[in-house]
């Protein structure tokens, strides 16, 4: 655990007692703070009380009497579409609002670091799509190279649950826009921006607010080195803003599909080959086509970002290449769950928006596509470039019929439930095809989360194949 520093003897309130909130409460108590907790869920409150925490409804009159600081869990809105009543009450009471990421960065360093040969480093990864895979891949490369590494944040453990890093240790954090938006301290050594596509727009008041939340990691954190995906205008803008000159090697540009050139430091993938260039000259190359755990151009972008990060941490290309080949991928993200009779079954349940789903559709040439769920704003028009790869769609969810109407020119069967969709897809699939779950929709109409949906897909595949 990372004890939270700077609040000894002060009263800190924690709003939201999920994984990150309860972790923050424990870290605050370990650091000497007096902690008050609140969650609207009675069962969650009871669990915190069982650990000895005091509970107080912060939104009630006098809820912030004597409180010095408020820590808010990432799932709780603090501005758009409307501030949580407890957050608004904190503003009125003049109580500063922070989150566990801010506490982590202000508390990570310790006096023991003065005795280390190599001070620990923090790598922070953000973006719309691919940040989980990129973070896990960086962690995997470091581990395979024999470097101490811990994975936390929006993936793995809560940031304050990790062990204090040792000599030369690396902490890899996946950070969502909910986390970067509110943190009062953001000071990673290396920061990674994967890409940007519309998502969580209601929470950030539109696309500009969403990008601004991501940009805070770079503008306010002042990392020593930035790895920036430049396949969207926002990434190109960000890279340009961070550069002091064309040859500024503190910014490593990353692309999937575009050959980058110039006097700086670039990593890009084209036609399945990763290239690293410096000062306009290629210094390393890796054939990604045989890397089984990273199929498709979107995963090649993840590979480029992870490779660039590992190179910035002084790892040699051959070590990185070997680690790429041993990476098995993450559950629910282009995860191969079975391969029978020449048919591959891929679980990409995390593809909850149109952009992520388009990249999944473009990763395979002949697809039996399981899709649908709780549709998001913006429609399905952005999938058009990937639809030629679809042999047939099998649509699930309460809005299955409406979803199917949004797929012009696609042979679409309304199945409603996962078992029916997988049964039909597996029965009709032929050698060389892929049965792909890439929903292009949220899961909440039928499942608690995308993980539960992906797990159900895998179970239905095993049942259909009698495995």
Asked whether the beta carbons of 41 and 35 are under 8 A apart, the reply is: no
Asked whether the beta carbons of 375 and 395 are under 8 A apart, the reply is: no
- Report the distance separating Cα 276 and Cα 269, nearest Å: 9
Q: Is 128 within any annotated ligand binding site? A: yes
Neighbours of 320 (CB within 10 A): 26
Residues of the chain by 3-state class (helix, strand, coil), percent to 5: 35, 20, 40
Distances (CA, A) of 351 to 236, 347, 371, 440, 460: 24, 9, 10, 6, 19
Q: Is 350 within any annotated ligand binding site? A: no
How many residues are present in the chain?
Answer: 467
Q: Is 131 within any annotated ligand binding site? A: yes
Interstrand relation of 343-347 and 335-340 (parallel, antiparallel or unpaired) = antiparallel
**Burial letters for 240-257: b for 16+ Cβ neighbours within 10 Å, e otherwise?**
eebbeeeeeeebbbbbbe
3-state class (DSSP) for residue 135: helix
Q: Is 176 within any annotated ligand binding site? A: no
- Report the distance separating Cα 459 and Cα 454, nearest Å: 9
What are the residues whose beta carbons fall under 8 Å from the beta carbon of 438, sequence distance 6 or more? Answer: 348, 351, 356, 357, 360, 361, 369, 370, 371
Neighbours of 22 (CB within 10 A): 24
Angle at 372 between CA 366 and CA 374, to 5 degrees: 155
What are the residues whose beta carbons fall under 8 Å from the beta carbon of 24, sequence distance 6 or more? Answer: 4, 14, 71, 73, 99, 100, 103, 158, 160
Q: Is 133 within any annotated ligand binding site? A: yes
Tokens linked to 382: 């952005």
10 Å CB burial of residue 32 (0-12, 13-18, 19+) is: middle
Binding-site residues from annotation: 127-133
Binding-site residues from annotation for ATP: 127-133
């Amino acid at each position: 655990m990372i004890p939270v520093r700077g609040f000894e003897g002060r009263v800190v309130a924690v709003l939201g007692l999920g994984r990150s909130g309860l972790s923050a409460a424990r870290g605050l108590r370990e650091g000497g703070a007096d902690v008050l907790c609140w969650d609207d869920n009675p069962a969650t409150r009871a669990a915190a009380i069982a650990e000895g925490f005091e509970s107080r409804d912060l939104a009630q009159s006098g809820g912030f009497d004597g409180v010095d600081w408020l820590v808010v869990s990432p799932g709780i809105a603090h501005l758009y579409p409307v501030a949580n009543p407890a957050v608004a009450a904190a503003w009125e009471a003049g109580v500063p609002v922070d989150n566990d990421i801010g506490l982590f960065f202000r508390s990570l360093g310790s006096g023991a670091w003065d005795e280390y040969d190599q001070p620990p480093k923090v790598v922070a990864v953000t973006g719309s799509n691919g940040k989980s895979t990129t973070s896990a891949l960086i962690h995997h490369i470091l581990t395979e190279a024999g470097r101490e590494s811990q994975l936390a944040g929006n993936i793995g453990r809560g940031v304050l649950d990790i062990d204090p890093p040792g000599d030369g240790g690396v902490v890899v954090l996946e950070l969502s826009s909910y986390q970067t938006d509110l943190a009062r301290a953001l000071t990673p050594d290396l920061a990674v921006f994967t890409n940007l596509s519309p998502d969580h727009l209601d929470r950030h008041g539109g696309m500009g607010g969403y990008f601004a939340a991501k940009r805070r990691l770079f503008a306010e954190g002042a990392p020593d080195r930035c790895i920036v995906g430049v396949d969207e205008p926002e990434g190109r803008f960000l890279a340009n803003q961070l550069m002091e000159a064309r040859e500024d090697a503190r910014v490593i540009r990353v692309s999937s599909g575009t050959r980058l050139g110039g006097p700086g430091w670039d990593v890009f993938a084209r036609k399945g080959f990763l290239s690293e260039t410096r000062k306009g000259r290629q210094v390393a190359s890796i054939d990604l086509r045989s890397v089984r755990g990273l199929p498709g151009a979107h995963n090649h972008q993840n590979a480029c970002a992870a490779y660039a990060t590992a190179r910035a941490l002084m790892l040699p290309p051959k070590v990185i290449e070997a680690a790429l080949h041993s990476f098995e991928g993450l559950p629910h993200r282009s995860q191969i769950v079975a391969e029978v009779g020449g048919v591959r079954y891929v679980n990409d349940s995390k593809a909850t928006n149109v952009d992520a789903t388009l990249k999944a559709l473009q990763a395979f040439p002949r697809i039996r596509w399981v899709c649908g769920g709780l549709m998001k704003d913006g429609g399905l028009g952005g999938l058009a470039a990937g639809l030629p790869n679809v042999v047939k769609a099998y649509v699930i969810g309460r809005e299955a019929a409406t979803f199917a109407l949004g797929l012009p020119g696609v042979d679409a069967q309304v199945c409603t439930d996962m078992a029916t969709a997988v049964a039909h897809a597996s029965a009709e699939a032929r050698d060389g095809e892929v049965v792909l779950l890439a929903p292009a929709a949220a899961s909440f109409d039928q499942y608690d989360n995308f993980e539960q949906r992906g797990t159900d897909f895998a179970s239905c595949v095993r049942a259909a194949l009698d495995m």
